[in-house]
Amino acid sequence: MDLSRTAPPLRGGVVAAQEWRQVSFVHWRIAPEVVAPLLPPGVVPDLFDGSAWVGLIAFRLGDARIGPLPPTSRWGSFTEVNVRLYGVDASGRRGVVFRSLEASSLPAVLAARALFGLPYVWSRTDQRQSSNGWQYASRRRALRPGSLEPRFRLDVSVDETRTVDDELSLFLTARWGLFQERIGRTLWLPNEHEPWVLHPAKVTTLHDELCAAAGIPGIVDAPPDSVLFSPGVDARFGLGSMKGAV
């Protein structure tokens, strides 16, 4: 299935919705054989220019809602940081595979884990605007007193006078679904939103322990191969489907 800047229509209506704002995309190339064991059953690495890719994505999630319920700012708005990979299945569907997702809202963490099996982790997260970009931070809540939990700090500078619209940026951002192993099978959860408006960006500060905790050590030791920023989109999710036994 070819990648497209616009999403295919959701079938069966919208089951959840949320805002994604001030989104920073930081990506590295990685060998396909390294990430293949980290993908759900029936999903293989999706490649661009012969490489698989690891994404470290930070943004503000807002006005989350499920089904017909109204959005709530009490638990449905928070800074999120996720580590993600890219996969494709036998049907040609190309989607995101999350290795971890940091969020400061405990109800959101519990709901995402219970409903979809997504690897959300309750963390202290924060996001602030700087003079020329954005700053993000995260620290997982300690499971026991004195334990050392993964930390994250990212500062990016953004050039809002220019936009990026090339094949690589399309590959890294135009993803209309996610794969997640769930109850011994692979879940496909489709989404849609308006096309991304992307600006070039630069990393000015990065301290990351999340990728290593997600099973991808050493990747952040090298400079990123792509850094992008978007003001954001309004995302909607459709009915998921299960396929393939483990």
Per residue in 123-163, pLDDT (tens digit) is 999 999 999 999 999 999 977 766 779 999 999 999 999 99
CATH number of the domain within which 31 lies: 2.40.400.10
Is 10 among the domain residues?
no
Is 155 among the domain residues?
yes
Residue 68's pLDDT is 61
Residue 240's pLDDT is 83
Average pLDDT over residues 193-213: 98
Average pLDDT over residues 175-200: 95
Give the count of domains, the chain: 1
Q: Is the pLDDT of residue 235 over 50?
A: yes
Is 136 among the domain residues?
yes
Residue 245's pLDDT is 41
Q: Is the pLDDT of residue 86 over 90?
A: yes
Q: Which residues contact 20 (CB under 8 A, 6 or more apart)?
A: 59, 60, 61, 62, 193, 232, 233, 234, 235
Q: Is the pLDDT of residue 244 over 90?
A: no
Residue 11's pLDDT is 85
Is 8 among the domain residues?
no
Q: Is the pLDDT of residue 243 over 80?
A: no
- 1-45: per-residue pLDDT in tens? 788 999 998 988 888 899 999 999 999 999 999 999 999 999 999
More confident residue, 76 or 2: 2
Is 1 among the domain residues?
no
pTM beyond 0.75: the answer is yes
Q: Is the pLDDT of residue 246 over 50?
A: no
Is 11 among the domain residues?
no
% of the chain surpassing 90 pLDDT: 80
Q: Which residues contact 190 (CB under 8 A, 6 or more apart)?
A: 7, 8, 10, 11, 176, 177, 237, 238, 239, 240
Is 171 among the domain residues?
yes
Closest CA to 177 of 95, 91, 101, 117: 95
What's the chain's average pLDDT?
93
Tell me the residue range of the domain where 184 lies: 16-245
Q: Read off the tokens for 50.
A: 């012969």
Residue 80 contacts residue 87 (beta carbons within 8 Å): no
Average pLDDT over residues 220-239: 97
Residue 146's pLDDT is 65
Is 7 among the domain residues?
no
Phi, psi angle pair for 228, to nearest 5°: -135, 160
